[in-house]
Amino acid sequence: MKRRTFDPDVPLPPGGMPPQFSEPELLCETCQRATPREVLVNCGARCGPCFDAYCRGAFAGQPTKPVSLEEAARKLAQFAGRS
């Protein structure tokens, strides 16, 4: 059940209106814009404009190709400085 009033013994702020509940804002994963949490949950951690761009394919990268275990081990050895 949603609470509709405040306790009578709690004083109101100077304007006389109870404070409005605001949804916490978090940062969009792509553009770092402050976005309401519910939007991020529904859009895969993206704000509305970034989600629309994602759906249009704007963030699509190059398709990845499968790598064999031998090739992955060779690249890892190169990265670690062993030839």
In a domain, 10, yes or no: no
pTM of the model: 0.46
In a domain, 16, yes or no: no
d(CA 55, CA 63): 16
Contact between residue 28 and residue 35 where contact means Cβ atoms under 8 Å apart? yes
Domain region containing 30: 22-60
Return mean pLDDT, the chain.
76
pLDDT of 64: 57
pLDDT of 62: 47
In a domain, 27, yes or no: yes
Q: Is pLDDT at 35 greater than 60 in this prediction?
A: yes
Domain count, the chain: 1
In the structure, what pLDDT confidence band is assigned to residue 53 with cuts at 50, 70 and 90? confident
Q: Is pLDDT at 63 greater than 60 in this prediction?
A: no
In a domain, 44, yes or no: yes
Q: What is the residue type of 8?
A: P
